[in-house]
Chain A
Amino acid sequence: MERELRPDSNSTGRAFASAPFELNMKITILFLLAIPAFAQTSASADRLAQAYQDRILTEATSSMKTDDHISMYETLVKAQPEVPHYQNLLAGAFIQKVRESMDYTYLERASQIVNNVIGQDAKNYEAARLRTEISLERHDFKIAADYSRTLTEWSPMDPWNWGTLGDALTEMGDYDKAADAYQKMVSLRPDLSSYNRAAYFRFIYDDPVNAEKIMRMAIAAGSPMAENTAWCEVELGKILLKTGKVREAGQAYQAALRQFPNYHPALAGMAHVAAAQSDWKSAIASMKQAQAATPLPDYAAALYDYYMAAGEMKEAEKQKELIFVTDQVGQAAKEKANRNIAIIYADHDWKLDRALELAKNELEVRGDIYTYDALAWALYKNKDFTAAADAMKKALQFQTPEPSFYYHAGLIAGALGKKEEARELLKKALELNPNFDTRQASVAGQALKELS
């Protein structure tokens, strides 16, 4: 008979109900502030007060938007700065906000809070878990792995720690140990968070059929946070799109947008689906919406391709400029590693030396197959074909059904004179999805023709 949850799977419902939620929030805060006064009347009532606090909080907040969470926890922290639990809740809400907005100033705020709590109590478990998440967001993967391992010793039955351990190891390219960690996670608790990780591994290990099935299980399992379910819908869309199921991918992205309106990765997904059907107008419209929500360089690069395909050279140039400026700002901030920009440069034959630098440096941060692919592609464009082939071998070690991996591998093999192998690889890329990329798919087709 548990009632911690007030499930609310769609934000439309919440928007309509926002006024009463504010009222609820105020009432809840009043309740919570009253509890310690009660607790002082009886020392032994402390435990009950804690239990009530947790249940009231969870129940009151589970259907709130992240911004409402933040303002509520801020009020609590202000009123009772000595309660670390509230600090941790606020930090957790900030991290969720990073997920939703990609605004990393929230990560810094979360980090300050967590460091503060840990500074006063090195064994604060909640804060320690959040610190691991923050390290992951910062791409301090080795540190995140170490933190996670410590936490699995503190609390081996908590699936969360096995999840963050698997996440860190995946980025570091230690797939075997990551699979073990994820298996522990899903065996302890099959739910949205463990299923989506298992699905990802199935895809990495060239099992897209079961990857799709398991991702659908993750979606069916659901989360009180609408963004979490939408995130899995987007991941499902990516799996489907990479394996050529364009129409179904569109449905998945649409489902994500129903769950969590204006969700930028879902808008970008809709753009990819439109582009795969050469519907440049829709592709541009969706991608511009995604860019307005979060101006990622990947979105600018996609827009560049769409505008070029639509013959709007002037608009395309603006996007190109934006990418360059983004990189300049990154350089000014001493950013050395960025495999996304490396891929964009290599794709378009822009600043190829910078592409190689960004990809090589990324390898110092992490050693997963996507980093090896970016490195291989940058090496190929810089005409270092032998080194490119070595890196590509690592990227394709599990035959992951990424069309662009096979495309890159095909061109590299072709450059090394391995014509038969090149043909097979390029064929595989186009079999997976003949429209896997606005520009590169036609390059692949052309190369295949020339090899035949």
Chain B
Amino acid sequence: MLSNVRRTMVLAAVACAPLFAASHRNGPLLLEDQTANLNDLYVFRSYETGRSNYLVMSMSVQGFQNPDNGPSYYKFSDSVLYRFNINNQRGLDGNPDMQIDFVFQTTLRPNPTFVSYFGALKGIDDPGIFLYQTYVIVIRNLATNTATYIYTDQNGHALSVAPPNLGPKSTPAYEANFGHPSVFTLANGMRVFAGPRDDAFYFDSGGTFDTLNFRAPAPVIPASADTNTGGGTYPNAVDGFAGYNISLIAVEVPIQMLTSDGTIPTNTANMDAHIGVWASTHRQIVTVRPSPSDPISYGNYVQIDRVGNPLTVEALIPLPMKDYWNRSAPAQDQQFAQYIGNPFFATGILNGVFGLSVPPAPRNDLLGVFVPDIMRVDLTIPPTAPASQNRLGPLAGDNAGWPFGGRRPIDDVVDIGFRALAGVLVSGYGVAPNNQLGDGVNSNDVPLQNVFPFHAAPHAGYLHSQENGTNGKGTPTGQ
């Protein structure tokens, strides 16, 4: 008995080390918000055969997904409203004229297992997809204050999220059985997709974040590596995003649905020929106190994150302002002009560290693109056929790329961005070495698709390995 007491004494001593053993409610406090975090926005006239009069918009969320992250994998958050904002009037002032919202709903189907997906799945309606997500699309016209709710495709099929690519046993022939069938055609002529994809962003992030330790000499890449995609990648450069998936939300919209006058524009001088797009995530405010007058008690949506052009937050907005920037609206971006018009990246890094001659502040070339921070698309620029596209876009004469024709998955926004920050779009600065900057990675790790939703199929969990690096680099995904 005594020994028993001694034993319990020891146990109790562990239990009572603190003087405050009684509980209190210690709710978590977080710094990071994974499900509402936006990565990239892509907007471009479709280069799929016969679809040039459609505009494609896609946003990627939840970057750096490990393809083998079972048993739960990644899902869209039911608490987040994912939004495409379209500005088509008033000279693109950063105020939305139209919005396309995605709202997700998760259904947990009867599940005898501990995993979210099980068995050899036969298609997107297989009951083995235990974690089943669907979405509702809301198209809002802010001028007329009307909203259209879309729950199914034109055949009445639920708008379902593509399941993850588990591997050849569970999700055989992924793209044919799960990827493409998750592209839905709506009664209004739009096509939509939501689900996992390969991350089309490519960047030697490891080299850059190792204090600009570019694997190509300095940030200037040699002519042999400064080519279009395919074979030109600098030998040692590493795509830090290779092998990772993202969750993609994509829409393909007839252009006339997006313009203020309802036409497909042909004259670039016409103001209606230009639109601006940005993506944002929102969550709803709730009221803490119950109120009898408001039984539902839920309030407005608050913006959590936004993305317009690539590199804005990384290269132009000072870190301490990041949260504030994310919460603010593009229409108020003039307040950031002091940073964007005189970017530290250009003066401190390109000039200060690497000794490049850069244009003096204020940088009106940058202000024209980044204030307000919306992705501008000249809808009169015809799409470039896939075989003729250039990763450097307008810098190499391919105007359908970033920043004139929106942004395509192929666009090397890092190299374009470095060079633009160095001033190549300013008269007198489009010279060496400013126009030779780059990270050495010139293309995505896997081939992109030339059909909607354009991003490559997601990497398969079964094939994923962190030990050999990049999950079968260069191997087409989704087979």
Contacts and interface: CB of A to CB of B under 8 A. Distances in A.
A220 B314 CA distance: 28
Contacts of B324: 157
Contact of B289 (A12, A201, A223, A366): A201
A197 B30 CA distance: 13
A5 B66 contact: no
B211 A38 contact: yes
Interface in A205-231: 205-207, 210, 214, 217-218, 220-225, 227-228, 231
B18 interface: yes
B475 interface: no
Interface stretch (A280-288, A334-342, A346-354, A383-391): A334-342
Given A42-B348, A186-B288, A5 B20 contact: no
Nearest to A36: B211
Interface stretch (B89-97, B218-226, B303-311, B384-392): B303-311
Do most interface residues of chain A lie in helix, strand or loop, or is the interface mixed?
A: helix
Q: Which has the most chain A C-beta neighbours within 10 Å: B21, B38, B69, B310?
A: B21
A41 B355 CA distance: 13
A220 B28 contact: no
B148 interface: no
Nearest to B308: A1
A197 B299 CA distance: 16
A298 B15 CA distance: 11
B285 A190 contact: yes
Contact of B40 (A1, A164, A182, A220): A1
Contact of A295 (B12, B64, B72, B106): B12
B8 interface: yes
Given A34-B211, A333-B19, A340-B21, A322 B302 contact: no
A99 B314 CA distance: 33
B20 A1 contact: no
Interface string A300-336: 0000000000000000001001100110111001110
A419 B373 CA distance: 69
A202 interface: yes
Interface stretch (A46-54, A75-83, A269-277): A46-54
B348 A44 contact: yes
A104 B39 CA distance: 38
A296 interface: yes
Contact of A20 (B287, B318, B466): B466
A218 B286 CA distance: 11
Nearest to A107: B18
B35 A330 contact: no
A205 B80 CA distance: 26
A195 B302 CA distance: 13
Interface in B261-295: 283-290
Given A191-B36, A192-B28, A52 B285 contact: no
A191 B69 contact: no
Given A193-B28, A329-B13, A362 B22 contact: yes
B239 to A, nearest CB: 13
Nearest to B15: A295
Contact of A99 (B26, B77, B80): B26
Contact of A335 (B16, B69, B284): B16
A228 B30 contact: yes
A154 interface: no
Given A201-B288, A220-B79, A8 B12 contact: no
A224 B29 CA distance: 11
Interface in A124-177: 133, 136-139, 157, 160, 163-164, 167, 170-171
Interface string B348-375: 1100110000000000000000000000
Given A42-B353, A297-B21, A163 B80 contact: no
A123 interface: no
Contacts of B338: none
Contact of B313 (A1, A58, A217): A1
Contacts of A224: 30, 32, 34
A225 B28 contact: yes
Q: Which has the most chain B C-beta neighbours within 10 Å: A104, A107, A339, A366?
A: A104
A62 interface: yes
A220 B80 CA distance: 8
A50 B66 CA distance: 27
B12 A7 contact: no
A160 B30 CA distance: 8
Contact of B63 (A6, A47, A333): A6
A42 B352 contact: yes
B64 A6 contact: yes
B65 interface: yes
Nearest to A47: B344
Contacts of B211: 31, 34-35, 37-38, 49, 52
A231 B28 contact: yes
Contact of B64 (A1, A3, A9, A201): A3
A109 to B, nearest CB: 12
Interface of B: 4-5, 8-9, 11-41, 62-66, 68-72, 74, 77-80, 106, 114, 201, 205, 209-212, 283-290, 297, 299, 302, 304-305, 307, 310-314, 318-319, 323-324, 344-345, 347-349, 352-353, 466-467
10 contacts: A1-B312, A2-B37, A2-B314, A5-B32, A7-B62, A164-B29, A167-B26, A191-B30, A295-B12, A322-B8
Which are the 10 A-B pairs with shortest beta-carbon distances? Answer: A104-B18, A228-B28, A220-B79, A190-B283, A20-B466, A7-B34, A6-B64, A38-B211, A220-B78, A295-B15
Given A10-B70, A205-B289, A221-B33, 16 more contacts: A2-B38, A3-B205, A8-B66, A52-B209, A55-B209, A62-B34, A105-B17, A188-B302, A189-B302, A191-B33, A200-B27, A218-B79, A222-B34, A295-B15, A329-B13, A330-B21
